[in-house]
Structure 1
């Protein structure tokens, strides 16, 4: 009876282990990093009664000001139905309001409320020590370098 054993010529399987040369390794590492960071940030938001999907909308509204729902969906990577549910939640909590857009009765703009701004600030205070813990194993300067690299990776410069 023969036993099938991998030969030395069998290519390695794609993993997210450090040093994996697979073309999938980076994506797998990014996914694991996202899951770890999202779990930690969700922990910071839980006592405030919101989820990451809510906070993503609040960030967009703080950064860009009032936005129509279509643009808000694009800014947060959501779809039309998803953004409507999130905005419904934020409205129920008094964190955002929908307003009519002059000249187009079908379009609604979303705006953060004073209560939403207070929660936004509270979320940052709650998240700060947790965010520091995420990068505690990195050397001085590496958290900033990681942020820079991920920013350039996520938002590549337009091709000339």
Structure 2
């Protein structure tokens, strides 16, 4: 090695003075924290998590949905959704029935108690969404939702939810 050309550890080290406020992933995590915190403030008394709500809402929207399709709609994996269904079923909110066309498949439907729970959760959940977007103008809300959809749809192959046209 020639004299005077030796690299120091500082020369080889990557820059470490990056501000978190410049990273969209950091903001995405913080936005998720905020959305969950607001949801929990509004819905806590009903003891239903955001994923349980999404799952119950989807089952009520599509009674008889299979677990694989349900997982795709809520943007989760089948194992996680299976656990959520277990918890909802234990509470008497949904039931699983054998699919007539494939005995290995279970179709999930809401119970009357599940439909009533959803009706009770909806106003609270909607209030959390309203609070979440409250700092934005109506035009900004629409743009925020549009931009989130662009990011999600353009990266659909990285998630469990296929892009929507």
Contact conserved, 1:44 with 1:130, CA < 8 A, in 2? yes
Q: Specify which of 110, 121, 129 is matched with residue 123 of structure 1.
A: 121
**Structure 1 regions of 5+ residues with no counterpart?**
1-9
Q: Which residue of 2 aligns with 1:92?
A: 90
In 2, Cα distance between equivalents of 1:118 and 1:38: 22
TM-score by length of 2: 0.73
Matched, 1:110 2:108: yes
TM-score by length of 1: 0.75
Q: Which has the higher helix share?
A: 2
Higher relative contact order (CA 8 A, sep 6+): 2
Provide, for residues 104-133 of structure 1, a one-character-per-residue CA deviation record: whole Å limited to 9, x for no partner. 221101112232222222212112333222
Aligned residues: 142
Answer with 141-150 or 57-66: which moved more.
57-66
- Secondary structure at the aligned position of 1:75 is classed as helix
**Structure 2 regions of 5+ residues with no counterpart?**
1-14, 157-162
Give the aligned CA root-mean-square deviation in angstroms: 2.3
Q: Which residue of 2 aligns with 1:3?
A: none
TM-aligned CA distance change 1:88 to 1:154, over 3 Å: same
> Post-superposition shift, 1:96?
0.8
Q: Which has the larger radius of gyration?
A: 2
Contact conserved, 2:97 with 2:106, CA < 8 A, in 1? yes
TM-aligned CA distance change 1:41 to 1:102, over 3 Å: same
Runs of at least 4 residues off by over 4 Å: none
Matched, 1:13 2:13: no
- Secondary structure at the aligned position of 2:24 is classed as helix
Q: Which residue of 1 aligns with 2:29?
A: 31
